[in-house]
Amino acid sequence: MSVTFEILAREPFADGHAFGNAGAYERIDARAHVAVDPAHPAQAGVFDIDRAPRDGQGLVRCSIDLWLLKPVQPERGNGALVVEFPNRGNKRCLQFFNDAPATNEPRTVAHAGNGWLMREGYAAMVVGWQGDVLEGDGRLVADLPVATDGDRPLTARVRAEFISDSPGVTCLPLSGKNGTRSLPTVSRDTAQAEFRRRRYPGSAPEPIAADRWRFARMEGGGRGGQGDVTGAERAVVPSSEHILFPEGFEPGWIYELVYTARDPLVLDMGFVAMRELVSALRAGEGEALGLGAPAAPARLYAWGRSQSGRAIRDFIHRGFNADASGRKVFDGVISHIAGGGRTAMNRFSNLVIAASRQYEDWLNPADRFPFSYATSTDHNTGERDGICKRPETDPLVIHTQSASEYWHRRGSLVHTDSQGNDLAQPDTVRIYFWSSSQHWSDPSPFRPEKGICQNYQNVVATSPLFRSTLALLDAWVKDGVPPPESRIPRRADGTLLTMAQWRAQFPAIPGTALPASPNELPFIDYGPGFSAGEAAAEPPSIDVERGYAVMVPGVDATGNDAAGIRMPMVEAPLGTYTGWNLRIAGHGHGALHDFSGSYIPLPESADERLMTGDPRPSILERYGSCRGYVSAVGAAARALADQRLLLEEDVARVTAAAQNWGRPRHILGLSQKD
């Protein structure tokens, strides 16, 4: 096994600005070159490594991008390195831990946001583990080998799904996204493929004739100038990686393409490379990065959100947190908004596809037993398993999830058994439910919009919880101070409900439609080779008579989630904040939308409440004035800080954000004088 580092760029971060006691930071762009012996026992469970090309020494090689932010004087840091599993190659640690602008090229003081990570002395590294991400827009990528069948390409029947939210879309990559590697088709003969569309995931498909579409891409269509008309020309170019549908993808419909693909990547090599890279840093072999002994990190943490949070769960479950010598890789991990899912590293997987939702990508195989960190039994199969099952090398785990995970991502299964009963977690695991928040919560203030949803997007701000969660993990690893107990809804106390129970509890808000159900999970059999990393050649078998219990959080009289960590703007609400939102007519009417949540404003006055028949007490009845609202938010923030769930510096931030009735996050007619 070997890891070598290639430095691509090195420069002062934020023009040498000093961040508290840690001082100035530098940023390093690098590439790690990894070589492993495919016959070593550490590679025993690595899918398709036996099909990867080998060099003259019999080793399998790959390379991955990395980006490092660290103190110029390492001794001034706190000794901890936060390693981000990036979501689709994007750097997001500064955005979420520091309330910084979203960018893949952070260089300036403004890009540091409030500077919290640096002021606390953390080093941060973002590692491009995902093999099917393409270069562009500053994304971090991995160069992974292609699996072959000897001297022949590997092929399989695959399914791609496309949904357009706007009219006029006629051409798409087969991956569905421009930034994602497409699995090329073996033949551009459309008669060898199947193209169809559905109104809803369970609707009967409508076939689309082979002569109405092509394996091709559209080029050109720009603006000519100075007598050059060629820039405005358009051309249809045959392509094994694109679909061209001249009449256009009708917005809101689910389009499906089934075709024979070739050239899958050995996607597991992304996990292998992450394991070897972090192991090398722990061993003091990061001299080229300025992280060699004696400056090697003393504590190593992994952080990922959504897709990359699922990757962390899979990394643990499949044993990658033990290196080739049996040593622990990460001391602690934070998996955020992963729900009950893991990755699907199978041959011909498209890792960029978001996990299963009720309407979008419903058959994505991300959600499979085991769902929980604790060991339990799958009542459908009798299988017994859990994510954390290697006490010697499993990290300390903090799993955080929003309300959206319960509705869209089967989040209840993280802490229940397969039949929905409360399941005690290992002492090394904490699960924190961020009540009434949604999957994607922008740290920057924004004015809510509806888009193709029936309600405004959820506006609950949760970024302070990223900081307090990392502080809790660091104290746990460094000082042995356990975090507060898990904050989750439970069957035992009546805060985790069936759908029927929830519908009886949710307030009857005028004009508000309710979901028919959360994203349920029937028993899906993906084929006999699935667990060995092989793609299913046929559509999976779905048994709706069997399945897994998906529960949802109970609510208070306002409709906000009763259990979990309630941010001050939930404890002192100006609206009902949910983890669900519904699609409008023409876009899958009534189905849950993506990972979206809702913000349903409260009536502002008693008169409005009476006129509309709203059962929820109005804003002025609750607080009397803007000053009363700010005071209520401040008191809620103080209570969370006393429980170690909010940092002291964020008490003031949260309270200040409540001024002027929490604008711009809230839409209301009240003035600051009211």
- My answer on whether 89 and 171 are in the same domain is no
Q: At what angle do helices 626-642 and 648-657 cross, to 10 degrees?
A: 160
Query: By C-alpha distance, which of 53, 83, 44, 47 is closest to 67?
Result: 83
29 inside domain: yes
pLDDT of residue 346: 87
Residue 227 has a pLDDT of: 54
CA distance readout (Å), 449 to 86, 587, 590: 27, 16, 18
What would the 3-class secondary structure string for 305-323 be? ECHHHHHHHHHHHCCCCEC
Structure tokens at 262: 């070739």
The total number of structural domains in the chain stands at 2
Is there a single domain that holds both residue 241 and residue 275? no
Residue 171 CB partners (closer than 8 Å, separation 6+):
216, 217, 218, 242, 243, 244, 245
* Averaged pLDDT, groups of 10, the chain, 674 residues long: 94 97 98 97 95 96 98 97 97 97 97 98 98 96 96 93 94 94 97 97 96 94 59 88 97 96 96 98 95 94 97 98 96 98 91 92 93 98 97 98 98 98 98 97 92 97 98 98 98 98 98 98 87 72 92 98 98 98 96 97 98 98 98 98 98 97 95 86
- The confidence score (pLDDT) of residue 544 equals 86
Query: What is the model's pTM?
Result: 0.97
Q: Please name the residues in contact with 427: beta carbons below 8 A apart, sequence gap of 6 or more.
A: none
Statement to judge: residues 37 and 101 lie in one domain: yes
3-class state of residue 580 by DSSP: coil
Distances (CA, A) of 626 to 333, 614, 658, 662, 674: 40, 21, 9, 9, 6
Residues 16 and 127 in one domain: yes
182 and 194 within one domain:
yes
175 and 122 within one domain: no
Burial class (CB in 10 A: 0-12, 13-18, 19+), 668: middle
Beta strands in 494-537 (DSSP E): 496-497, 521-525
Is there a single domain that holds both residue 247 and residue 282?
Answer: no
Within 8 A by CB and 6+ apart from 478, the residues are: 79, 80, 299
Q: Give the distance between the most distant pair of CA atoms in the chain.
A: 81
In this structure, is residue 242 part of a structural domain?
Answer: yes
CA-CA-CA-CA dihedral for 242, 243, 247, 252, to nearest 10: -100
The verdict on residue 190 lying in a domain is yes
Is 103 within the bounds of a domain? yes
Full residue range of the structural domain in which residue 66 is found: 1-145+265-297
What's the chain's Rg over C-alpha atoms?
Answer: 25
* Same-domain status, 136 and 274: yes
